[in-house]
Chains A and B, each alone.
Chain A
Amino acid sequence: MINILIYVLLFSVALCIYRMGKGPTPPDRAVTLDILGTLMVGFCAILALITGKDFYMNIAISWALLSYVGSIAIAKFLENRSFDE
């Protein structure tokens, strides 16, 4: 039953990777990277549901925050601004 949820999430990741390969502009790929980070939090939640271990949530929290910092850095780069503004 829970395996079906994992397959659905994997199919979502496959759709994201299709968009990441197709482009056509750099911001599209950046958006896809942002979504992949959020989906990874979902994977951690389902793994925690299966195993009942709570350290998966530590991974999920740090992954969410690091993915956010990465998106901000890529956005600044796309805007042609310096990083120390």
Chain B
Amino acid sequence: MKFIGEFIILFGVWLLLTWSLAPAQLIAGVVISLLVIGLVGDMFLFKAGRALNPIRIFWMIMYIPYLIWYIILANLDVAYRVIHPDLPIRPGIVKVKTSLTTDMAKTFLANSITLTPGTLTVDIKGDELYIHWIYVHGNNVKDWSKAIIGRFEPILRRIFE
């Protein structure tokens, strides 16, 4: 089951990259997909039963425009700070606590944090994330957690847990 899922993903990426249905391309795609599965197939973090659940796929599709909206806000924020003559920055590294447990969810959370307003993940230890913030406000772990990850956690929990 895991093997079939991996093969579908790899062959789909091959089809997108070549974008042609010539027999030579298809045969090369099958051979290369099997080769990749044989070499590094064990490393995939893929569970077919969970990834193909329609509710999770629905929330995943809802999450993408939500994230893109916050990425655009982040860019306007950073661009404003860059071109302002006085450089209004107040940087620092803060710590937040997350309640997500699976590795996949934490990876997505860290990448979402890095792409959104003025925050950059420096390290993850267990359920604690260290985050470089370009304009720190608030003064304890609870405030920081609410301000930085409060808007992503509910949706990520629906997708991955």
A residues lining the B interface (CB < 8 Å)? 54, 58, 61
Contacts and interface: CB of A to CB of B under 8 A. Distances in A.
Nearest to A58: B17
A58 B17 CA distance: 8
Chain B, interface size: which category? under 10
3 contacts: A54-B19, A58-B17, A61-B17
Contacts, number: 3
Interface of B: 17, 19
A58 B19 CA distance: 12
The secondary structure that dominates the A interface is helix
A54 B20 CA distance: 12
Nearest to A54: B19
A71 B25 CA distance: 32
Nearest to A57: B17
A22 to B, nearest CB: 17
A54 B19 CA distance: 11
Contacts of B17: 58, 61
B119 to A, nearest CB: 17
Contacts of B19: 54
Contacts of A61: 17
B21 to A, nearest CB: 16
Contacts of A54: 19
B90 to A, nearest CB: 21
A60 to B, nearest CB: 12
Contacts of A58: 17
A61 B14 CA distance: 13
B52 to A, nearest CB: 27
B161 to A, nearest CB: 28
Nearest to B19: A54
A66 to B, nearest CB: 15
A45 B17 CA distance: 16
Nearest to B18: A58
B35 to A, nearest CB: 18
Nearest to A61: B17
List of 3 A-B pairs having minimum Cβ-Cβ separation, nearest first: A61-B17, A58-B17, A54-B19
